Structure 1
């Protein structure tokens, strides 16, 4: 029984990692929509899908725990909503590889947050991982700087650099989201946890839309846009994000987080096939350093879990 449960969790983690890679692709097809509209409708579709699954499969919905943890769930929704806003902005402003690699620096920030608030001293391996990832970020920044010399377009360079910063901010917010939500994940079943988070995240995005964009949220009418939104709301959101959290209950954090590292690889392959975005060799080297550094940090977290 234990082996079967582990296999199921591994399947959930791998599936989540693969479908995370589709997010950037769907966002690229939504070039006619602004960032807030994409984030809002993505969350609304995910809410509807998860609610439908919960009702159809007659899953237990823990209303008492939701009421008890209402403020915590609302804050998690704020973090998730901001994460989506930053990540979608990054995909629009920089390349798919930049956005998906930099957003996966989340474990680096997560370790800093754990050390600061929970007094967990990082090991030498973790410190080495942080340095390795930082060097990788510097390589990416240098490659971006070379773009201005080759392209002589200040606007193009500024947009790409802005996207890189947005991707890092998305990673930081996600780290806050994961650290704050860790306790709740052990107290509530996945549907009772994720549905309120998706709803509150959608509300936060909706509230921020008009003050920041002076636009109202209207559902698009174009078939291509609707299909892309459905894909974004169902695959990397309702399916991947939910499976990712579900796998955490049966896998070590190192194993689950490693599954998520499939995102930049899958997204880059899809980006090459669909948009012919061929990354520069030196940028690929920087990306490899970032992923290697993340691996070292996750390895350290895994060793910590074993000691506990």
Structure 2
């Protein structure tokens, strides 16, 4: 088991490194001169040349890439903003907790609402409960998060005045953003849970359990649901990564000063170091989530357990 976990941790390193190389390369070849962003459009050629020399923009691509990877992954230094001159790492540490709070809360809503809906639809196939749950799931898939967010603001903030429309503060500021961001993931979890339950319910051992007179509740929650959890867990884990990565839309609509809004502002102002830093941070979050899911699979999936435990036992037997 330790070997499996170690292999997954090793895979984490090249993924993040590849993302760093890719985003630096894209920013290197993107049209535009970063020196003009720093010095201003009215700067003379001498001033632009001085800025390029100061920032190392005159160096070859491979030299700049090496410096970027060294500063980012060895010294954890993302540099400073071209526009404000503020240290990017400090700004990221201030904004990251807000993005993670929003993302994790939204994800919990998608799981706590989506999975029960899907299970209810699966065990009541072609009945009213199934049609109602799938209608809710279809509604969730069809609603773009930004449109739903705007509608929620119009209703609960402008019309009713119950909740704040933007900004950050107490827990009430997260209610509308989390609802708007959870509908798509809730629908995906519901559809996956329904599909997994239908597949398991039709299995021979479920039919046998019913024939033996086992209660319907026990068949569903003790026999069917545990065996349907693997595809549900996979969909839910990917949903968490997508929620954190898709924070750009929700944070923009609700004015939440997190990583997503920070990234969008940097794109609009062509602040290249911030763009690179935000993409890498989001990639690290995504990779960590996938790493945790792989480790969870190692403990709950009998196939992985038997593979590594069996290999270890065979090696001990051969040594003996």
TM-score band, normalised by shorter chain = 0.3 to 0.5
- The TM-score, its normalising length taken from structure 1, stands at 0.33
Task: Name which structure has the greater RCO, CA cutoff 8 Å, separation 6+.
Answer: 1
Q: Which has the larger radius of gyration?
A: 2
- The TM-score, its normalising length taken from structure 2, stands at 0.32
